[in-house]
């Protein structure tokens, strides 16, 4: 019996049967990571004292609402999420912050979360609901650092080509709440992290920049990243990092023994759900894992090479088959486009395949936003390049401008999911037929 996803994505006949199958895989990947699906299975015992809920991320409000529906005791607290991702809660306050750049809402939310955490006692339980997007949504600049400078550094980093670990290392060391600072504020209460992971390899310090986990990185590493990518910052920020004044809490002073963590949804689980469905359709699956990183256009060239080998030599797997991968690729924005790692991956893949028949592909961000615009990603079939040429779209120009979204908008081949209320990062799938 085929299990239908509760999350659906609209398709059109013009897409073709292959792209319809790819959309079904994406829908199941997203569905596997939705808070309503996963969170109830990971709830800890009710404490003697209060249960305080804190949270940040694109899934935070939906996680809080789901928690209210399943927790057998009174709840209070605050979560911060992005516009469009809020869900109505009864006893937990919901605030809106900025994404992809922090704003005044992010600043106010961080101050309120820190204040609530500091009121907790030994008998209290703090349920920390974390998901992708929390780094921007929760913003408390380190002492002497302005919100404006933090926004500038953040903007430079996300356009620099730095990977998520590098970006979040800098974020943690310029923060008074990330990198374990919130965990220190929560002591002596027990903290139970419930986390939807959006980072390759599920590295805890990188999920929402790790406000309630130990950060093993150093100020020296953060400063080296700033230098490597020529990030402009003030002299006072440079000196604070150089002196170690912005160091994140380290054991024993961090007192992390009171913190417990459970990953409730990951990219690995999402890929596995898509794989199960594809195999149920009689397709062979080559699952390349959830930790693919690198420049989007370069990763696409590797995937194109694998697809060409499958078509020509039936290796490493014979068609009909699917190549699945997750992780987080990056775009170094040099042109006037908006970037978008999934769209740029797909555009570079289409270019590298050069009209190879029988190859269809989809790439999307599972939160519903690829880059800065409200579009999850895009798709192509083996007629898309010919269609682009008929329309006079010169693909290399769009790559040069980092305007993949503009290209796929002109083809009417974008994927619009709307807010998905979860985030396990990139989902890429290539379906290769005979």
Residues 413 and 291 in one domain: yes
Same domain, 342 and 260: no
Judged against a pLDDT cut of 80, whether residue 11 lies above it is answered with no
Residue 229 inside a domain? The answer is: no
Residues 135, 147: Cα–Cα separation, whole Å: 14
pLDDT in tens, 404-429: 999 999 999 999 999 999 999 999 99
List, edge to edge, every strand of the sheet that includes 92-97: 92-97, 76-82, 51-56, 125-130, 190-196, 259-265
- What pLDDT does residue 112 have? 97
Residue 269 CB coordination number (10 Å):
18
Same domain for 304 and 400, yes or no, is: yes
Domain with residue 70: its CATH number is: 3.40.50.10180
Q: Which of 204, 234, 265 is the last residue of a domain?
A: 265
Q: Find the mean pLDDT for residues 290-309.
A: 96
Q: Is residue 233 part of a domain?
A: no
pLDDT tens profile 97-128: 999 899 999 999 999 999 999 999 999 999 99
Range of the domain at 317: 13-32+267-432
In angstroms, the Cα distances linking 17 to 360, 383, 433 are 10, 13, 11
Rg of the chain over Cα atoms, rounded to whole angstroms, equals: 22
Count of structural domains, the chain = 2
Residue 250 in contact with residue 181, Cβ under 8 Å? no
Alpha-carbon separation of residue 100 from 106, 132, 138, 374 (angstroms): 11, 11, 11, 12
The model's confidence at residue 2, banded by pLDDT at 50, 70 and 90, is very low
Contact partners, residue 373, CB within 8 Å, separation at least 6: 338, 340, 405
Residue 44 tokens read as 């800890």
261 and 282 part of one domain: no
| 353 and 418 in a common domain | yes
Report the sign of the C-alpha dihedral through residues 293, 294, 300, 301, in that order.
Answer: negative
Beta bridge partners of 284: 321
pLDDT of residue 5: 64
Same domain, 257 and 304: no
Q: Are strands 426-432 and 321-330 parallel, antiparallel or unpaired?
A: antiparallel
For residue 334, the model assigns a pLDDT of 87
Question: Has residue 356 been placed in a domain?
Answer: yes
Mean per-residue pLDDT over the chain, rounded: 94
SS3 per residue for 19-78: HHHHHHHHHHHHHCCCHHHHHHHHCCCCCCCCEEEEEECCCHHHHHHHHHHHCCCCCEEE
Q: Give the three-state DSSP class for 362.
A: strand
Within a domain: 406? yes
- pLDDT by residue (tens digit) across 337-388? 877 999 999 999 999 999 999 999 999 999 999 987 789 999 999 999 999 9
Residue 164 domain-assigned (yes or no): no
Q: In this structure, what token pair is assigned to residue 307?
A: 């697809």
In this structure, the dihedral spanned by the alpha carbons of residues 104, 107, 109 and 114, taken in order and rounded to 10 degrees, is -160
Q: Same structural domain for residues 294 and 396?
A: yes
What is the spatial distance between Cα 28 and Cα 35, in angstroms, rounded to a whole number?
14
Res 326 pLDDT > 70: yes
How far is the C-alpha of 319 from the C-alpha of 284, rounded, in Å? 7
Is residue 92 within 8 Å of residue 75, measured between CB atoms?
yes
For 208-346, where are the E strands, in sequence order?
A: 259-265, 284-287, 292-295, 321-330
**What is the DSSP-derived secondary structure letter of residue 254?**
T
Is 133 within the bounds of a domain? yes
Residues 113 and 261 in one domain: yes
User: Of the residues 202, 230, 265, which one is the last residue of a structural domain?
Assistant: 265
Where residue 272 sits, what CATH number does that domain have? Answer: 3.40.1480.10
Is there a single domain that holds both residue 209 and residue 327? no
The model's pLDDT over 59-88, given as tens digits with 9 standing for 90+, comes to 999 999 999 999 999 999 999 999 999 999
Verify that 347 and 292 share a domain, yes or no.
yes
- Residue 227 within any structural domain of the chain: no
Please work out, in degrees rounded to the nearest 5, the angle formed at the alpha carbon of residue 362 by the alpha carbons of 339 and 295: 40
At 254-285, the pLDDT tens digits run: 679 999 999 999 999 999 999 999 999 999 99
End-of-domain residue from the set 265, 295, 326: 265
| Distance, CA of 330 to CA of 345 (rounded, Å) | 9
330 pairs with which residues across the strands?
295
What confidence score (pLDDT) does residue 9 get?
77
Based on the fold, state whether residues 273 and 288 are members of the same structural domain: yes
Query: Over the stretch 161-212, which tens digit does the pLDDT of each residue have?
Result: 899 999 999 999 999 999 999 999 999 999 999 999 999 989 999 999 999 9
Closest CA to 182 of 249, 282, 104: 249
The answer to whether 345 and 297 have CB atoms below 8 angstroms apart is yes
Are 101 and 22 contained in the same domain? no
Q: How far apart are CA 309 and CA 372, in angstroms?
A: 34
Q: Quick one: average pLDDT of 238-246?
A: 97
CA–CA distance, 373 with 353 (Å, rounded to integer): 26
Does pLDDT of 14 surpass 80? no
| pLDDT number for residue 254 | 64
In a domain, 427, yes or no: yes
pLDDT of residue 50: 95
């Amino acid at each position: 019996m085929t299990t239908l996803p509760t999350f659906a994505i609209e398709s059109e006949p013009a897409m073709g049967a292959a792209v319809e199958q790819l959309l079904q895989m994406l829908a199941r990947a997203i569905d596997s990571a939705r808070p309503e699906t996963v969170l109830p299975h990971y709830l800890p015992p009710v404490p003697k004292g209060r249960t305080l809920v804190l949270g940040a991320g694109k899934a935070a409000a939906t996680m809080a609402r789901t928690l209210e529906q399943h927790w057998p005791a009174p709840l209070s607290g605050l979560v911060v999420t992005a516009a469009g991702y809020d869900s109505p809660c009864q006893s937990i306050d919901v605030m809106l912050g900025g994404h992809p750049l922090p704003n005044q809402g992010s600043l106010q939310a961080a101050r309120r979360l820190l204040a609530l955490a500091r009121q907790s006692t030994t008998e209290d339980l703090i349920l920390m609901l974390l998901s992708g997007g929390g780094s921007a949504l929760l913003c408390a600049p380190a002492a002497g650092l302005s919100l404006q400078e933090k926004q500038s550094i953040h903007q430079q980093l996300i356009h620099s080509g730095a990977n998520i670990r590098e970006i979040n290392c800098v974020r943690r060391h310029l923060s008074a709440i990330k990198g374990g600072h919130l965990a220190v504020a929560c002591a002596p209460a027990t903290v139970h992290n419930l986390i939807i992971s959006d980072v390759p390899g599920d590295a805890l310090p990188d999920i929402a920049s790790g406000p309630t986990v130990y950060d093993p990185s150093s100020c020296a590493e953060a400063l080296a990243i700033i230098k490597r990518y020529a990030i402009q910052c003030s002299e006072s920020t440079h000196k604070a990092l150089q002196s170690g004044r912005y160091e994140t809490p380290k054991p024993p002073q961090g007192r992390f023994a009171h913190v417990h963590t459970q990953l409730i949804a990951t990219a690995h689980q999402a890929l596995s759900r898509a794989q199960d469905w594809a195999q149920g359709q009689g397709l062979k699956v080559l699952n390349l894992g959830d930790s693919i990183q690198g420049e989007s256009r370069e990763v696409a060239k590797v995937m194109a090479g694998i697809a060409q080998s499958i078509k020509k030599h039936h290796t490493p797997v014979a068609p009909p088959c699917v190549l699945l991968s997750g992780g987080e690729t990056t775009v170094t924005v040099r042109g006037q486009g908006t970037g978008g790692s999934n769209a740029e991956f797909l555009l570079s893949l289409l270019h590298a395949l050069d009209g190879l028949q029988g190859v269809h592909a989809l790439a999307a961000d599972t939160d519903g936003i690829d880059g800065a615009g409200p579009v999850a990603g895009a798709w192509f079939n083996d007629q898309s390049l010919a269609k682009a040429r008929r329309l006079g779209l010169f693909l290399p120009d769009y790559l040069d401008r980092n305007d993949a979204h503009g290209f796929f908008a002109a083809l009417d081949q974008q994927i619009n999911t709307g807010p998905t209320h979860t985030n396990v990062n990139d989902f890429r799938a290539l379906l290769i037929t005979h």
